[in-house]
Amino acid sequence: MQHRSFWLSETLGDAPDEPPLHGAARADVAIVGGGLVGLWTAIRIKERDPACDVVVLEQDICGGGASGRNGGEVLSWWAKAGKLVDLCGREEGVRIAQASVDAIGELEAFCTAHGIDAEFHRGGYLWTATTAAQLGAWDSTVELLRELGAPALELLEPEEVARRTGSPVHLAGVLDPSAATVQPAKLTRGLRRVALELGVRIHEHTRVTHLDRRSPAVLRTPAGAISADRVVLATNAWAASLRELHTRLVVITSDIILTEEAPERLAEIGWTGYEAISDSQVMIHYYRRTPQGRVMFGKGGWGIALAGRLPASFDRHEGRARDVEANFRRIYPNLAGVRVEYDWCGPIDRSYHGLPIFGRLGGHEHLIYGVGWSGNGVGPSLLGGRILASLALAERDEWSTSPFVGERAGRFPPDPVRYTGAHVVRSAVVRMERAYAAGRDPRPWDTFLAGFAPAGIIPKTTRRADG
Ligand SMILES: Cc1cc2nc3c(=O)[nH]c(=O)nc-3n(C[C@H](O)[C@H](O)[C@H](O)COP(=O)(O)OP(=O)(O)OC[C@H]3O[C@@H](n4cnc5c(N)ncnc54)[C@H](O)[C@@H]3O)c2cc1C
């Protein structure tokens, strides 16, 4: 049986599964993927055009993918301002980054308006350094934001960083106050409920096995087929198996451990806020506390998938979980004795530049995709849903015409070169980061190879990965 995240296990039972698709059906818009991206897209389409007949096809249950497994860190794209400016120019780059901030406020308002208790807490994003080598990882971004007149990252005193994180292992950091944290499965399942209330038809346990790319498109499933005027592919890492997107994405894992509830221990070390925290490693560590006093601690980038196939080790991997726990113990020696109760993992659809890519599959107007969230999709998926809704409704607006939409992201080499190369680079990154964590200088060859790691949350120049 599939290994579920703690978040999803805690949330399931909220509603019966929606029935699989049986027989032939039709829709104005068929969305493949019932995660945050697919559900926000469905909701935005219905809000704009209630008469539009929207169907979501989900191979598992809504939230069974990354959306119900992630760390729940709701981040803006300020940290990616450099890449946004490269892609869209200064004005549009700032507009998109600001829209990602606005999305966090809209997320909170949406949850309130629709009675979704997603445990939303706005504590900001603390981007920290936990080794000397990580110091100043944010400098170029802070400088750029100043130049752009958008000083969104506040430099904190080192003592303040150690105080807020509850651990003196944190040497320095900057704060993006716009960020928040959520229980991600509650959010995703809440969106599912709202989508159904708006009249979206959802078929769970319905895997799309074939996409006929003609117009109207036909999506085949094990027990049926649906013909649709427009198709939105919101299939995250699974999209890497499509021939058109194969070289646009590298699929890696992100692994999470979750401790027992220990609110008194967290209070003792002063970790009482709701900051979403990360270090500045290439294989990033990201962590936060939950309202119940658990610690969620995750690490991105360990497992690598071949040809978009996601084996069971993308649900859970005990060996990797032990490595994640060792890193948690290193960063929080003062939480010794607090037990780890759960672990799980999930896939990350990392694009070359670390931002999502929106476009038309094979240039077909009616086949739209939004993938490549690169481990930063919880907040941005709301914005992504807006962009995909504009594309699906063929509206000409600031979203569909933005230079952000298009195919400018770089490409990876095809498998098996990509798979082999990714392992070589990953091994070098691991050796380099182990050396830094032990206070040693890494071998120059490892540092050189690590430079080939693709960008994640943060532009490549700052050498960071993603959640
Ligand atoms: C462990 C982990 C930690 C993360 N932490 C963070 C974080 O703290 N903050 C952050 O912002 N982001 C984080 N992310 C990333 C974030 O979860 C994603 O970017 C976001 O959820 C993307 O949503 P999605 O809808 O694209 O993907 P998903 O939720 O994966 O949805 C895609 C859906 O498509 C379905 N599907 C695939 N193929 C088919 C098919 N052929 N037919 C039918 N259905 C199909 C899948 O079953 C899946 O449910 C994390 C991800 C992981 C895995």
| pLDDT tens for each residue of 282-323 | 889 999 999 999 999 999 877 788 767 888 889 999 999 999
Distances (CA, A) of 92 to 99, 355, 394: 10, 15, 21
Q: Write the single-letter amino acid at 303.
A: G
Cα atoms in the 13 Å half-sphere on the side-chain side of 408: 13
Full-model pTM: 0.95
Q: How many angstroms does the Cα of residue 67 sit away from the middle of ligand 1?
A: 4
Angle at 383 between CA 453 and CA 367, to 5 degrees: 80
Rounded CA gap, 250 and 161, in Å?
Answer: 33
At 427 the pLDDT is 87
Q: Given 3-state DSSP classes, what are the helix, strand and coil percentages for the chain, each rounded to the nearest 5? A: 35, 20, 40
Largest CA distance in the chain: 63
For residue 38, give every residue at least 6 positions away whose Cβ sits within 8 Å of its Cβ, in sequence order, or none: 31, 32, 56, 58, 232, 234
**Hey, whose CA ends up nearest to atom 25 of ligand 1?**
35
Token pair of 412 as six digits: 């990876």
Q: What is the pLDDT of residues 59-114, one digit of tens each?
A: 999 999 999 999 999 999 999 999 999 999 999 999 999 999 999 999 999 999 99
The residue contributing the CA closest to ligand 1 atom 18 is: 377
The CA distances from residue 262 to 321, 335, 407, in Å, are 20, 9, 46
The tens digit of pLDDT for each residue in 5-18 reads: 999 999 999 899 99
280, amino acid identity: S
Report the pLDDT value the prediction gives residue 454, as an integer from 0 to 100.
66
Q: What is the pLDDT of residues 389-415, one digit of tens each?
A: 999 999 999 999 998 998 677 888 888
Nearest CA to 287 out of 265, 318, 256 is that of: 256
- pLDDT band of 453, cuts 50, 70, 90: confident
- Residues 6+ positions from 353 with CB-CB distance below 8 Å: 83, 86, 87, 409, 410, 454, 455, 459, 460
Mutating to test ligand 1, I would choose from 18, 31, 59, 368 the residue with most ligand atoms within 8 A of its C-beta, which is: 59
